[in-house]
Chains A and B, each alone.
Chain A
Amino acid sequence: MIAHIRDTPLPQAGKAVGIQTIGMTMRFGSFTALDNVSIDVPAGTFHALLGENGAGKSTLVKCIMGFYHQTSGSLSVDGREVAVQSPRDAATYGLGMVYQQFTLVPSLTGAENLVINRTHVPAVINWAKERKDLAAFMERMPFKIALDRPVRELAAGEKQKLEIVKQLYLGRSFLILDEPTSVLTPAEADEMLGLVRGMTERGELTVLMISHKFHEVTKFTDAVTVLRRGKMAGGGLVKDLTTKDMAAMMIGDVKLAELDTRLPVPADAKPILVVSDIRAPDRTGLKMIDIGSLTVHAGEIVGIAGISGNGQKELAEVLAGQRPADAGSITVKGSLYGATRQETRINNVRFIPEEPLNNACAPKMTVTENLAFRTFDVKREGGDALWLDMKSMRKRAASLILDFKVKTASQSSPIASLSGGNVQRAVLARELTGDVDLLIVSNPCFGLDFSAVAEIRARIMKARNAGTAVLLLSEDLDELLEMSDRIMVMSDGKLVYETPALSADISVIGAHMAGHH
């Protein structure tokens, strides 16, 4: 055996293993998702895997982890070829993966999550002993996490750390991290990657990280491999490459949509959205969100920064009328706003929630029907429609699909069959068509590739320049800095800091996000 499964929490550090893929190829029917990819990740290095959505990154790591069985090609661990048929096999060689979507079980505590993931769990768990072992193990972990709380109560950042801790607890010495910092604050991300980097430098761990963020790649990793459309597009040592080189390898010669020049906000811009003294319970019912005052003017983008789980979602829900507020008022264009369909229509309020497939679409209905959600019940000449005008619905959908470059097999496909970026484009098409005075957007670019991100940001900026008031809730600080006129920070249910985006200091924002204020 090359490596035996380390099954109990070891107080001493692990020893890194290196991996190599040779000619890895994966075909699904006639489609080649991965084409002859060979990468080499020596023991104790921090390797980045770059590529757009659909470039084959996840296919590659799924082949390494045994989720897929490659059509051809091989995997070596520490120089010896191994056959990995399942994630369990991968575990015996010390290979582990932290997924983008969490694999922790929400209703179990951190400690329960760690223990149940071991290969050999005793039939009866001696919690006194386990707690002692866990405490000893956590001593040498760089992350501090409350292990006795149910995971569902942890913030996304804490969950991410717990995912990594789980892999280390299980004794993995080669880790694949799938966009590990997407839900963390810049300071948290730096801290975590720094600690992971430290472990690789000490030879305890080898890391292959899927990332979209160049500054992370240049700051923390040793080497990079870039995939494009399933093929190796390039790679090398990070110190030999510039960000520009990497971007060119990633996207090839596709032209990205450019942001319109930001028009200045006129001094007399009218306030469109005014929120005052809103109080509402959060999802757990234990905490409250408490928004003192929030105003968005015509033609400006107000960005709300914050770590997920600090009340942004609840704020968006209150504004969308999905969550009743206990106190306070929302006015849109000077009149009280209760988010009824009528008020939404009169005031031209549009809403793009996060995870639009679940929150803004009926997944099993067709693209055409989903695109008509704002308009199906009004006649073209005004007044309530009694019958659906299928013909004009189809015509309108066809032009929106074309205009917003939504890729779909057919406009009568269920919208759930579209990729994430295309669902986002479809929702954007629906919400940004017609007169829009107020646009509320939540994490519009989460998990999308470069061209989709550029496209969506350009659309939002265009709407802003045309005089739409935009409230942008995002967990991605880079996005907020690029898009916003003003940035406000939400922490623990309150707006705790406000700054013009131009003069924003990222470390001050980070500190407020983390609750140090």
Chain B
Amino acid sequence: MEDTGIGLWGVPLAIFSGAIRVSTPFIFVSLGESITERSGRINLGLEGTLVFGAMTAYAIAVMSNSPWLGVLAAMATGAVFGLLHGWICKFPKVNDIAIGIAMMQFGLGLAFFLGKPFIQPVAPHLPSISLGGWSNYPQIQSALNINVLFIIGALLAVALWWAFKNTRVGLILRVVGDSSDAARAMGLNPDTVRLLATAVGGSLAAVGGAYLSLYYPGSWNEGISSGQGLMAVALVIFARWNPIGCFLAALLFGGAGALGPALQSVGVTQGYYLFYAAPYVLTLFILVATSSPTRSLAGAPGALSITK
């Protein structure tokens, strides 16, 4: 602790860098899911998509020696998973939540099966950008070493927020998500729109997986995900389907998740395991505080159903 040179400032700094590091997969999965849910469908299978994306990205990066090729390959497989989910859900009386859970298990199992040979080899990592050159403290330099995917995710959040309001595709997505009848009345096919929205959502979730295997923690093994794919689905609801909200919620969640390790790093040894639960406690607390039994959930897509 003496040799850090910045003392207790290490805690907020560690939370800051932790927030960025931990939040990146949440950002991609929740942005993807916000697109899917805005179209009126829930894809709970994103956990499976995420892990399969992590495996694909790692495998392709090992074989081609290009991490970006790995990311692209992950996106492609994510889209395939999304298409499969969307295609099954278009049949009448199919429940999207049940299919999502099945798809999650399918994705996990397939990833572990196909990923066995890639646990040993080492893949090239995704690059990061150093913004901390102005400081002499190595801690600050490393905290400001920001991964490229995080920056892309931040830009994507703003772009999606803008696109939901200002583009044809964005409006069509909201129409379909809010009222299938209205969509049909204007000649749109809700199933097709949802199919594509689920595919895009899947490919973004897979980017979140690629981040896990190619940046942080930066390796492929069966324990790579700690439920990011599922938590991100909850984040979308917490963020009220707003992409910028998703981004901020992911940051908050990442920051809370970094609390435990940060305290540990400055020498707090008692009960830091409790702080590992911080993100989940925080989510529960905020969800309870912001919900009301007498008001409807503002911003919820009308066609989003849990009782089809």
Contact = CB atoms under 8 A, between A and B. Distances in A.
A107 B186 contact: no
Contacts of B296: 283
A8 interface: no
B187 interface: yes
A6 interface: no
A180 to B, nearest CB: 16
A121 B171 contact: yes
A64 to B, nearest CB: 15
Nearest to A122: B168
A87 interface: yes
Interface stretch (B126-134, B174-182, B221-229, B267-275): B174-182
B299 interface: yes
Contacts of B187: 86-88
Interface residues of B, number: 23
A99 B302 CA distance: 19
A280 B292 CA distance: 14
Nearest to A322: B294
B295 A107 contact: no
B182 A103 contact: yes
Contacts of A86: 187
B171 A125 contact: yes
Interface in B284-300: 292, 294-296, 299
Contacts of A189: none
A46 B167 CA distance: 38
Contacts of A324: 294
Contact of B294 (A99, A112, A285): A285
A127 B163 CA distance: 12
B169 interface: yes
Q: How large is the interface on A (under 10, 10 to 19, 20 to 34, 35 or more residues)?
A: 20 to 34
Interface in A212-246: none
Interface string A283-302: 11100000000000000000
Nearest to A120: B168
Nearest to A170: B186
A155 interface: no
B167 to A, nearest CB: 5
Contacts of B175: 105, 108, 116
B168 A125 contact: yes
A324 B292 CA distance: 12
A127 B301 CA distance: 23
A121 B167 CA distance: 9
A283 B174 contact: no
A314 to B, nearest CB: 9
Interface string A95-128: 0000101011111100010011100011111010
Given A88-B187, A281-B294, A323-B294, A105 B174 contact: yes
Given A88-B187, A323-B294, A107 B174 contact: yes
Contact of B292 (A112, A122, A285): A285
Contacts of B167: 123-125
A112 B168 contact: no
Interface in A15-63: none
A107 B165 CA distance: 12
B182 A104 contact: yes
Interface in B143-196: 165-169, 171-172, 174-175, 178-179, 181-182, 185-187
B189 to A, nearest CB: 12
Interface string A476-499: 000000000000000000000000
B186 A117 contact: yes
Given A283-B295, A283-B296, A103 B185 contact: yes
Given A103-B181, A105-B178, A106-B302, 18 more contacts: A86-B187, A87-B185, A103-B179, A105-B179, A105-B182, A107-B174, A107-B299, A108-B171, A108-B174, A108-B178, A115-B171, A116-B168, A121-B171, A123-B169, A124-B167, A127-B165, A127-B166, A285-B294
Report the 7 A-B pairs with minimum CB-CB distance, sorted nearest first: A285-B295, A121-B168, A116-B171, A103-B185, A88-B187, A105-B178, A103-B182
